[in-house]
Chains A and B, each alone.
Chain A
Amino acid sequence: QVEQVKLLDRFSTSNKSLTGTLYLTATHLLFIDSSQRETWILHHHIAAVEKLPLTTSGCPLVIQCKNFRIVHFVVPRERDCHDVYNSLLQLSRTAKYEELYAFSYNPKQNESEQAKGWQLIDLSEEYKRMGVPNAYWQLSDANRDYKICETYPRELYVPRTASKPIIVGSSKFRSKGRFPVLSYYHKNKEAAICRCSQPLSGFSARCLEDEHMLQAISKANPSNRYMYVMDTRPKLNAMANRAAGKGYENEDNYSNIRFQFVGIENIHVMRSSLQKLLEVSGTRGLSVNDFLSGLENSGWLRHIKAVLDAAVFLVKAIAVESASVLVHCSDGWDRTSQVCSLGALLLDSYYRTIKGFMVLIEKDWISFGHKFSDRCCQLDGDPKEISPVFTQFLESVWNLTEQFPQAFEYNEAFLLQIHEHVHSCQFGNFLGNCQKEREELKLKEKTYSLWPFLLAEQKKYLNPLYNPDFSPELTLLEPNTVSFNFKFWRNMYHQFDRSMHPRQSVFNLIMNLSEQNKQLEEDIKELEAKIKQRTGQSDAVLVKEHQQSAHPAPVALKSPPCFKKEQPPTPGNDAVRTIEGSNTADNRYSELVSEFSKAEPAVVSLEYGVARMTC
């Protein structure tokens, strides 16, 4: 505990600050300012801590979080600052999975609730929903014991004609044993999205089993025997891989394939791109041109566009040509996950519902072995493995929700909350790098699943404009990917910089209204029932009436909250989504509402400062 600590506003030039007390708990860093407002920061969210040179007012400490919050403290005594700094360094770097928050987090659920929570998402149900197994596709038990591929799930769907030797042979010819398997099956078109890793083709190597495997996939599609093989890497990268004995499919060796590069950059490029983006957006007193050129130089939006363009290409092959598509990159767990999941999202409206989106993440990201632990740096590990691949996926989805405001059951807050928890290590879902590792960690017994918690508070994540009729089953979304459609996602990268947000949020207002409408509908029913009851009562049953007179009180009591609701829903409460890693009660809804009422954003006080200085 350190007292008299100042919290500086990140973008203000007037050096306004809040003074308060800093507490370190086992899991959180807590700052309570003089007006008792609390800021909770989960240790796992801390990406970097930096001590700046001593100033006259004390020792500045800057904490960068994985959810893009940046806090700037000034600690009066250097000693304290040093202590806090060291503690945070230690606390934010975890060496073992068992030390992660998820293993100590206790939401007061009993075991059966815990187990039920984990059963909420059932992938074999999901494959059934898609229509497999069927005449062409079957469940393979080849990987039941993780013998063929450690990073794949146990249950894999493959073409019926792909025998075990073909599977084994093909897996030996694929990087990390990640052979082609089914990711999504389109019932109406009878076409499939399959995924794998790069072939170990080098300059000339070939593998008959792998060729048979691809042929089996193309034959499993009765509508079109041509299939696409999408290498999501830039051609140059794929060619460079050949020198290392890896590479891409030679069109001459495989019959009936069309090969296509789509040019999404690798994890290292993405990491440094995000780094650049954050540097730009974090600049104080940024000019419009510096912002735009910084945005351009970071390449971030170019990458988002590349990911979405790839998904659009995939979807066209399936929807227009009824052709199956095999997607891969290098290891088939980053770009491949992005493209397969976005493709499925564009093809199938189920994934645009809250439950469906959870299923999609469980399927294409968690079960197929996107390395969440490495990419999100859950444990202290190789910084070169960190990459915002999943963040890009969420951002692509966000772009789609902007273009199709009525197509998604969930809202932006849902995406932000998932992003929050991918890094929070509070729930077991995203821990580890693959299913095998998760089983070894006994996550299902020792930790809780995120999804039931999100479902329990799904009111917050509902899109009030969602129209299920907008997209009946299997309605294709055709996004416009002209550059000007892609926008900087302010609510992600400046989620905690309230001064940059619109002061009143249309979205929340509509959300409140539609919530209120439901309540009103119920009130009407209730009132109508009461009136009916009243009018139905003949004077003869006055006695009964008499007994009831003890009850009207609650009715009378009930109306005031309703009346209260009729007042304009408080604007500016986009706080619904601001949840600080910790338990759901931590959202600072009420505080932000009061903050708004002051209506004094920091950015203007910047100008205010200018006016002062000129005096």
Chain B
Amino acid sequence: MTIRTLRDHGQHYRPRMACLKKVEAFVVEMQDPKSGVKASDQKLNITSIPHVITGQDILAWIVTKMKVTTEEAQAFGTMLVAYGYIYPLQNHRKLVLVADSTLYRFQTPYFWPVQKWPAEDIDYAIYLAKRNIRKKGMLEPYEQEHYNNLHKWMNYKWDFIVMQATEQYKASKERKKPDRVVLDCQERAYWIVHRPPRRTHSGMDYGLDRLIDPNAEEVLTYDMVRRTNIFLTQALMRSAVKSSVSLTAFVKYVTTHHTHDPLLTNPVPSNPWITDNDEFWQLNMRNVDIPTKLSVERWALSFWELISDQRGRADFKLFLKKEHSGENMAFYEAAEEMRWGAATAIPEKSQFIFNTFLKPGAPRWINIDGRTMGLTVKGLDCPHRYVLDAAQTHIFLLMKKDTFYRYLKSPVYKDMQKKALVPAPHNFTDAQLEANAKNRNPGISPIVLWQQQEAEKAAAAVAARPIDVKAMVATNKLDRK
């Protein structure tokens, strides 16, 4: 049967299959007797089956019609088979399009995925029962499993199911042999798509249903509209930036980062995933002595890039130590820790931060304006994780706008630029690549690295603590004789 028109079936129970409408348009065109895929009759086990198409014809038609490459057409063709619009005649369990003389047929619209009725279990039970009646032991193992399951939990309806199956079996016996074969093929194809056997990937297997029904009318309550209005009013109060300004910023970002993107510019010495050699990662580790030139260049792009790279942050801290303004970075880190840390640790941390950075005469007193200081200290009475936000922003902007630029001009950074490594690109022969693939470096577990880092931090915290003179005298460390 040829289909010439496309009807909207509403898809009321197949919510997210909007793609199927577009697919159907194609399928209808494909079946056009003049401009569609050419069909022929094929002999299959004595009977002659009409309207059979070959895989390569389908592929050629898709390539011409959609103006795509063969591979893309292959992907689309596979989708057609996976959703059950076309079914294979011979290897009926593999729902892919094979681009040779493999035979396919168009599925009848009765069995198309968009129809209003879902593939219910009861229909499946009737189908399996019918096949069982026709010839016992004809069910495949996975079908037998389904059958047993359905028999168990649909037991109360089983008489009805058997009755229906017998009726359908009798009706099919009345039909002519070719029709019967075709109908059997169609029905079998339908159930392969809707109850796929193991290792068959069917398009109807679309995962969990989402809670909301897209066909349900959206009910706008009073409250919702008021909230929308408040949101819109606020949006109008906010200022936006001109497109030319923000889009130019994207282009600038992409251009400056082009050389740092390993997928666009080959990384030196080599991309570990391609050559199976992880030297690239080893050269960029947190605690490496001399960083690579590319890393050092990246630090100069922005303050955020500098402190996001752990090696860069270490270098920056070295510079701050020389400038005797390490307290800014320390405060920033402490504030970050409080913001992202556990809720129970907040009172303790806020106390520590106050004593170390904020109280008058504190050992690492940070220099922020009086107003911010006043607000922060007042807020510390009832500390919450965002209490240091104002001070943190002030310090961050200070470092970003002033200290960062001085860092870039400093001997610390210039020295690092000179010392930075430019690793030679790897040039592995095929034999070496094979050897690499066999000897992939397992690396260090991140858990171990984390423990190392924590130990270092603890040691640094102890070292940074102000020296308690009384305690030292008590332990006789200061000999005053």
Partners in one complex: no
Write the residues of chain A forming the contact surface with B, with a CB cutoff of 8 angstroms: none
B positions within 8 Å CB-CB of A = none
